[in-house]
Amino acid sequence: MRSILFRSVMIITVIGAILPMALLWDNEEAKAQEAGTPMELNRISVYLDEQFSLSPLPPDSTEFQAISIPNGFIRDGLFGYSILPIGHLYWKDVGIWNTPPLRETINLGGEVRVSVYATRGSESGSVSCDFWFYIMRGTEVLLKLEAMSKTLQSGIDTEVVATSRFPSGNDTTIEAGNTLSLMIQARCNGGATLRFGSTDLDSGFTFGSNSLQLANIFMDREKITVEYRDAFMVPWIMLYTELKVDGVILPNEQIMSQINPINRTREIIWERESPPANYEVFISMSYHYSGINNISETKVLTVQKPYVSRIDMIKDILGQVLLYTLLGAIIITAMVLFSRYRKGVWNRRFRELPMALQDESKHRKKKAWKASKKERRREERAGRKERKERDKGEDTGEFSLFKRKEPPSSRSERSRGIILDAENVDEIEL
């Protein structure tokens, strides 16, 4: 009896010790599994475009595209046998519109609103239509929206609207390389037309996404650089961009752009002169030309004066002084050397003049040497002319490939023939 009582007490004691621990363990697990705050997404719209494409850029023309909505009423009789004039309505495919493969992974979330425009077309009267809209990741359906019992009248563009929501948490993703697609199906009791692609008929859908993101803003003395990511890779010149510095809008005509391959962003650059100071910079970007559903950011950026130590300042000053000193020394040395060279040339020329002119001034000696050079050239021309006439007179009629040329006289002989002696010094006109 005692052993049974002892065992019962032990079992009750162990259960009493384990039970609070189990309850505490469950509470800790529950706390750890609490849902976090979902990421914030920006509202964007994508629009039906030509060639069954989707674009985040809104239409900018009044010309619209059109595609037919097939008649879904088929007279197939009773149980598929055309014995009785009985018909049924069937769902018909209208089309699938796709974006290009995304460059970056994007998240989708929040409310989704599909808005398309349809009309009866050229036929008279009206038709009743039901619509299904499928938002897809490639061929995988992410969300289905319905718009039922819509009456379409001839010649009137009727807006067909359907709304729904993505799952909470904003963790629905479309990975880079995949496409965002919209498939439309309709069930109509007659033919109709879907219109899109114009400013008045901007068929498409709106949802939350982070496809357009501001990465960073930089500013220095020469420019302001904004880094951003765009999963749709829209040309930057087609985006809405606005930049304000201390409340002053910078003109977009100054924008340049380049790709940063390191962090896979695009850079748009506004060139400007920025003295050292603090600046309040506001940037706004959007796919829509009006700036609707834009992303924006405001930062206070500091442009600092470059720090230069005293040692570097002294080095710069000494370097500039030495540079200009060296340049001046080179110029002066070149001038002195050239002057000496010219002086040596004229001294050699003066030695060719007669002794009677050696005591004259440099100006008179230069003038005399130039006159003698002119006379020497005149005599050389006369001598060449005389030899040419003599050769013509001695021509025997024999052909010779090479004619013998008289060896040129040496410089000393020429100078002896030209140097003026004391008797004809007075004949040179000075």
pLDDT per residue as tens digits for the range 40-91: 899 999 999 999 999 999 999 999 999 999 998 887 766 555 555 577 889 9
- Using pLDDT thresholds of 50, 70 and 90, give the confidence band for residue 397: low
pLDDT at 327 over 60: yes
* Buried-exposed string 183-210: b where 16+ CB fall within 10 A, e elsewhere: bbbbbbebbbbbbbbbeebbbbbbbbbb
**341: confidence class by pLDDT, cuts 50, 70, 90:** confident
The rounded percent of the chain whose pLDDT value lies above 90 is 48
Estimate the crossing angle of helix 310-350 against helix 362-393, to 10 degrees. 60
Decide which of 411 and 147 is more confident.
147
How far apart, in whole angstroms, are the C-alpha atoms of residue 187 and residue 208?
29
Integer Cα distance of 315 and 323 in angstroms: 12
Tokens 């050397």 -> residue: 337
Mean pLDDT within 323-330: 88
Give yes or no for a contact between 115 and 203, defined as CB atoms under 8 angstroms apart: yes
Q: What is the DSSP letter of 77?
A: -
Residue 161 has pLDDT above 90, yes or no: yes
pLDDT confidence of residue 35: 44
Tell me phi and psi for residue 178, to 5 degrees.
-90, 170
Confidence of residue 367 (pLDDT cuts 50, 70, 90): confident
Mean pLDDT across the stretch 383-410? 65
**pLDDT of 382 higher than 90:** no
pLDDT in tens, 134-149: 999 999 999 999 999 9
pLDDT-based confidence at 385, cuts 50/70/90? confident
| Higher per-residue pLDDT: 351 or 133 | 133
CB 180 within 8 A of CB 126: no
Is there a contact between 76 and 121 (Cβ–Cβ < 8 Å)?
A: no
Confidence of residue 352 (pLDDT cuts 50, 70, 90): confident
Q: What angle do CA 72, 75, 81 make, to 5 degrees?
A: 130
Contacts of 166 (CB under 8 A, 6+ apart): 108, 109, 110, 112, 142, 143, 172, 207, 208
pLDDT at 18: 44
Lowest mean pLDDT among 24-33, 43-52, 324-333, 412-421: 24-33
* 104 touches 176 (CB < 8 A): yes
User: What is the model's pLDDT at position 5?
Assistant: 41
Task: Please count the other Cβ atoms lying within 10 Å of the Cβ belonging to residue 390.
Answer: 9
Mean pLDDT score, 177-197: 95
- Per-residue confidence band for 206, with pLDDT thresholds at 50, 70 and 90: very high
pLDDT of 355 above 80: no
Q: What is the mean pLDDT of residues 9-30?
A: 41
Q: What pLDDT was estimated at residue 420?
A: 47
Given this model, what pLDDT does residue 425 score? Answer: 47
pLDDT band at 268 (very low <50, low <70, confident <90, very high): very high
| CATH 2.60.40.10 domain extents, the chain | 212-303
Question: Exposed, middle or buried by CB within 10 Å (0-12, 13-18, 19+), for 69?
Answer: buried
Domain spanning 212-303 has what CATH number?
2.60.40.10
Residue 10 has pLDDT above 60, yes or no: no
Nearest to 427 by CA among 350, 349, 354: 354
Neighbours of 224 (CB within 10 A): 23
Spatial distance between the Cα atoms of 78 and 85, rounded to a whole number of angstroms: 8
Q: Residue 87: how many CB atoms within 10 A of its CB?
A: 14
Say what the pLDDT of residue 142 is: 96
Taken in order 309, 310, 315, 317, is the CA torsion positive or negative? positive
Residue 50: C-alpha distances to residues 22, 197, 381 (Å): 63, 7, 88
Are residues 208 and 106 in contact, defined by beta-carbon separation less than 8 angstroms?
A: no
User: Which stretch of 67-81, 221-235, 240-254, 320-334 has the lowest confidence by average pLDDT?
Assistant: 67-81
The pLDDT, as a whole number, for residue 307 is 62
Report pTM.
0.62
Q: What is the pLDDT of residue 405?
A: 53
Sort strands 277-286 and 240-245 into parallel, antiparallel or unpaired: antiparallel
Compute the average pLDDT of residues 116-120.
95
Longest dimension (CA), the chain: 170
| Of residues 414 and 193, more confidently modeled | 193
Q: What average pLDDT does the structure give for the chain? A: 81
Neighbours of 172 (CB within 10 A): 18
Which CATH fold would you assign to the domain 42-209? Jelly Rolls (2.60.120)
Which residues of the chain form CATH 2.60.120.260? 42-209
